[in-house]
Chains A and B, each alone.
Chain A
Amino acid sequence: MLFSIAVFAPLAGALVSGLLGKSIGDKAAMGASILGMVIAAICGPLAFFQMSVGGADPSVIDLGTWIESGRFHVQWALRYDTLSAAMVGMVSFVAMLIHVYSVGYMGHDARPRYRFFAYLSLFTFAMLMLVTADNLAQLFFGWEGVGLCSYLLIGYWYDRPSACAAAIKAFVVNRVADLPFAVGLALIFFKFGSIEFAVIFPAVAQHGADTYALFGTTYSAIETIGFLLFIGAMGKSAQLGFHVWLPDAMEGPTPVSALIHAATMVTAGVFLMARMSPLMEYAPYALGFVTFVGASTALFAATIGCCQNDIKRVIAYSTCSQLGYMFAAAGVGAYQASVFHLITHAFFKALLFLSAGSVIHAMSDEQDMRKMGGLAKIIPVTCTVMWIGNLALAGIPPLAGSYSKDAIISATYASGTAVGMYAFICTLLAAFLTAFYSWRLLFMTFHGKSRADHHTLEHAHESPWVMLAPLVALAFGAVFAGWALNAWFIGADWHHFWNGAIFNGPHNEVIENLEHVPSWVEGAPLILGLLGIALAYLMYIRNPLLPVRLAQQFGGIYRFVLNKWYFDELYDAIFVQPLIRLARVLWQVGDATIIDGVPNGLAELTSDGSRQLVKFQTGSLAVYAFVMLIGVVVLVGIFMLSR
């Protein structure tokens, strides 16, 4: 019951503020939206505690039939197990804080805000539907729902061309990845005859040897499905190749970046891996690929993060990198560790984004860190919480990140496979870079000499309490979440806690082995993190001219990284430009000439035929009678011939 309320309260809020926003006014609409979220944020975590502390049994809450077509049967249902309860608890809580924060952040926006809050609540609902889905169709519903809301929110400032372009980019990149996901879904139906989790999961073992033939080659069906689903997850979670939309998505209002592009939506791909673990466990090659892509993304995005100057973009690439960590963990079979990191990351990344928003708010919408510096005295609360967020992100004990990130790095080592080792090296390096760019951000923003212009500094001010309160709440999460959840998620009793919500194959003992990794493996991330911090200190506080000199010395590498490895330019040349050319051809030749020409010609022919036909209608009786008699003769003739 609590669980259902948590899912549907945001929908009610979205409907009230979206549909009635105009008539009941901005304040009331905002109130309705926030009320819905508060109810959800009470019920969601309670439902999680009911399960984790109270030991409630996993169940399915049936809501009615959605599709009934032949053998294809889809039910609206909420799946209540540890995984979905944890996700619902996290999503509803973080989303509620972001709703509250938005009241302050959007306060200066000239437009009516009910639209923003309606989208925000609708997004939360879609995300909750995604994580509580009991079948792949409902999951896809939520998947597309969050995609749509993300599009609407990135392009919220629709009068900014860059926001519209970013919204379209996000939508299109996600669409591209959704196609393999939808194909994978269809393939599951094709092989299993159902898309209900309850039918699929027990049957995976029997279908292990199934093959799937395409273009004369046969593939293992389970592996194919695993790959297809993961490609869908790559799109939503901005993994290497599909990451291009995430930094651009920062065009949206900062609360949106915090909610969608840090805490919730982008983790949908990770969630999918955990949810589909009973299937993924039987697809070792797909899992290897998951680890490879995740680890590569973790390192790749971290390198870019080191050279960006836009405060939000640094955090965006950091998100990208952290998602890579989660996939790397999922790929080696440590789904528990990946979901653990997902939850802790949600707290500190939302915290970082919201404090970045607070900085931007204080600096009159300035996002370039080169024009900041020395803000620690002006906005001390923001500075403090941002330090906490970055400590958590860099994995400094005992903050949240240290538990979950170290678990992931240990898991990659514990897996003992070649790709696991690759992931281990990548994630270690990324940990170093993470600490470096985090402190680069802190130092450039809050410490050292101020580089802001006089005018901006005069107006710089601490954010109102309605924005600071969520920051403080999230800071608590960032400090304690790892410590509080560690024992449940990956502690000794994890079997009992997960209660079958995540499946580990018979030979998958990664979680057990976490405790038995060598001590240098456990210590390495912390040491590398501290080294990263030290380097950042050296470069940005002690010797601020050093970065400039380095950039000149290694101009090629610097530009390569600054320009994000030229991914956007590459895609533009390979996909965008040829498609635009193709579209132009289809438009001018295909549409204007052929598609318009054929019907016009046919219409000409028809009206011509009409004129000829009517000529028979002379009005003369003799002609009429004659036509009738000819008709009789012809019919008799045909009849005699054809029988």
Chain B
Amino acid sequence: MNWTLALPEIVLACIGMATLIFGVLRKQDSTLLCTMFTIGGFVIAGFLVYTGNYGFGFHGQFVADPFSAFNQVLILSGAALSTILALDWNRTQGIARFEFPVLMLFSTVGMMIMASASNLMTLYLGLELQSLALYVLASFARDDLRSSEAGLKYFVLSGLASGLLLYGMSLVYGFSGTMDLASLHELLVQPTSASPGLVVGIVFVLVGLAFKVSAVPFHMWTPDVYEGAPTPVTVFFATAPKVAAMALLLRVMGTSFASLVGAWQLLVIIVSICSMLLGAVAAIGQTNIKRLMAYSSIGHMGYALIGLAVGTSSGVRGVLIYMVIYVFMTAGTFGCILAMQRKGKAVEKISDLAGLASNDPMLAMVLTVFMFSLAGIPPMSGFFAKLYIFLAAVQGGLWTLAVVGVLTSVIGAFYYIRIIKVMYFDAPAERFDARPASLSFVVAATGLFTGFFFLFPAPFVSAAQAAAAVLFR
């Protein structure tokens, strides 16, 4: 039993529990300290992942390989960025409690386990650990009606999705006799040997995971939860869990069911096209910027799913690069949204951004970078994300997906660029409150990444290449 492979998760969980005990026992407000511990925990875990060994642990239920390491580092970055952003915002909104970072931390542990799962049971364990923490986080502003509603909606629908997932897993187990991803792969080397029950099970597993990445038609929760949840939680929702769920989806489809790619490819294509279309079209009419970002993230997951639909390791590479770029530009955009406060009260309307260019030119410039990136305009990173994905699609012969992707990008550009227009050409609205330093830091860092990714794409591409090589062998 090689438990050292799970050292990052174990260490992080221990730090989480220690922080919790510290917070409970300390009489004064310890939000700041606990946040610092949490971020420290993320850093340590990231270091351990980076330096850790590869291999199977816990009797094959747990795997550490380049793919898991890549996703775990990305999950930790997303979580760390959200935690930093949450600190000042929670304080001004009066929901600063030390449990907040701790819940983030536990959710992150769940996600890391998801990324390392090599068994359907481990997968479910990680998924539930992250979900339970997320339910609480969504309704963290418990005196706010919208927040409570968001938490409840997410809980019920996520419960339904988990049910479907579990049902699918039980079908898979029932018809194959194993829950080990690698054994499933060996069993299904001959695609014809797959029984109908097993196939139905696969669809259910796919649906359960599609819910987590909020792909159409399992996206219905996304706009409501994104809008209702406290904004730092929305940041978290939009970044780390998406990576974890996408990693899981890639892992399951790319190892166990890799040889059945011909069978499930069509489903992924349908889900991908629907997500891209809905993400592009439904966002046009939105006036609330968080809701708009919800549709935007639905659309982006649609683009990322193209890479899965291709069903090759170059497709997976595209997805992984996409997720990296997506996490940073989304975190940065939400950072800008978090800066939208007037006299200590958060505002969320797009029209509130009017004339930002004259009130706060730096913020307007960075947000412009993010919007161009989200729209996929070169030389911002978002363009390269789409480039690698469409490249894989074209190489894989999936022209339809590439064409739909390009068309929906054009539609999407409309509402992203409209925000720029509002910032630069509309009559200035009232000023926002001064930005806290932590926020400026995150926005600047992610903005630099987004704006200058084109200068140094090589390390990311080669890391993604190494990670993707694990799947679809």
Contact = CB atoms under 8 A, between A and B. Distances in A.
B347 interface: no
B211 A628 contact: yes
B365 to A, nearest CB: 28
Contacts of B264: 639
B282 A610 contact: yes
B204 A624 contact: no
A607 interface: yes
Interface in B250-291: 263-264, 266-267, 270-271, 278, 281-286
Contacts of A610: 281-285
Contacts of B164: 632
A636 interface: yes
A611 B224 CA distance: 17
Contacts of A619: 224
29 contacts: A606-B281, A607-B285, A609-B281, A610-B283, A611-B285, A613-B278, A619-B224, A621-B153, A621-B156, A621-B157, A627-B217, A628-B161, A628-B207, A631-B207, A631-B217, A632-B164, A632-B203, A632-B204, A635-B206, A635-B267, A635-B270, A635-B271, A636-B200, A638-B270, A639-B199, A639-B263, A639-B264, A640-B199, A642-B263
Contacts of A598: none
Contacts of A627: 217, 220
A610 B164 CA distance: 30
Interface string A585-618: 0000000000000000001001101110110110
A640 B196 contact: yes
Given A624-B221, A628-B160, A643-B199, 6 more contacts: A610-B282, A614-B286, A617-B224, A628-B207, A635-B271, A639-B200
A614 B223 CA distance: 10
A598 B216 CA distance: 29
A625 B281 contact: no
B266 to A, nearest CB: 5
A623 B206 CA distance: 21
B173 interface: no
B199 A628 contact: no
A613 B282 contact: yes
A635 B205 CA distance: 12
A25 to B, nearest CB: 36
B124 interface: no
A627 B278 CA distance: 14
A116 B282 CA distance: 57
Interface string B214-242: 00111011011000000000000000000
Contacts of B387: none
A603 B471 CA distance: 41
Given A624-B157, A628-B220, A639 B282 contact: no
A636 B203 contact: yes
Interface residues of A, number: 28
> Which of A606, A610, A624, A632 has most B Cβ within 10 Å?
A632
A607 B415 CA distance: 11
A17 B271 CA distance: 61
Contacts of B363: none
Contacts of A624: 153, 157, 220-221
A613 B203 contact: no
Contacts of A634: 217
B277 to A, nearest CB: 9
Interface of A: 603, 606-607, 609-611, 613-614, 616-617, 619, 621, 623-625, 627-628, 630-632, 634-636, 638-640, 642-643
A617 B223 CA distance: 8
Q: Would you call the interface of chain A mostly helix, strand, loop, or mixed?
A: helix
B245 to A, nearest CB: 15
Given A621-B156, A638-B270, A643-B199, A628 B218 contact: yes
Contacts of A642: 263, 266
A623 to B, nearest CB: 7
B461 interface: no
B249 to A, nearest CB: 14
A627 B214 CA distance: 13
Contacts of A640: 196, 199-200
A614 B161 contact: no
Contacts of A609: 281
A111 B414 CA distance: 46
B411 interface: yes
A628 B218 CA distance: 5
Contacts of B207: 628, 631-632, 635
A634 B264 CA distance: 13
B409 to A, nearest CB: 13
A634 to B, nearest CB: 8
The 3 closest A-B pairs by CB, nearest first: A631-B217, A624-B220, A610-B284
Nearest to A641: B266
Contacts of B220: 616-617, 623-624, 627-628
Contacts of A625: 156-157, 160
B125 to A, nearest CB: 23
Contacts of A616: 220
Contacts of B270: 635, 638
A633 to B, nearest CB: 10
Nearest to B216: A631
Contacts of A635: 203, 206-207, 267, 270-271
A185 to B, nearest CB: 31
A487 B196 CA distance: 96
A638 B217 contact: no
A600 to B, nearest CB: 13
B316 to A, nearest CB: 22
A613 B153 contact: no
Nearest to B282: A613
A617 B414 CA distance: 21
B217 A639 contact: no
Contacts of B206: 635
Interface in B385-399: none
Contacts of B223: 617
Contact of B217 (A611, A621, A630, A643): A630
A611 B281 CA distance: 9
Contacts of A621: 153, 156-157
Nearest to A630: B217
Given A610-B284, A623-B220, A639 B153 contact: no
A616 B222 CA distance: 13
A603 B157 CA distance: 34
Nearest to B291: A617
Given A624-B157, A635-B206, A638-B266, A606 B211 contact: no
Contacts of B266: 638-639, 642
Interface string B161-202: 100100000000000000000000000000000001001101
B261 to A, nearest CB: 12
A616 B282 CA distance: 10
B462 to A, nearest CB: 25
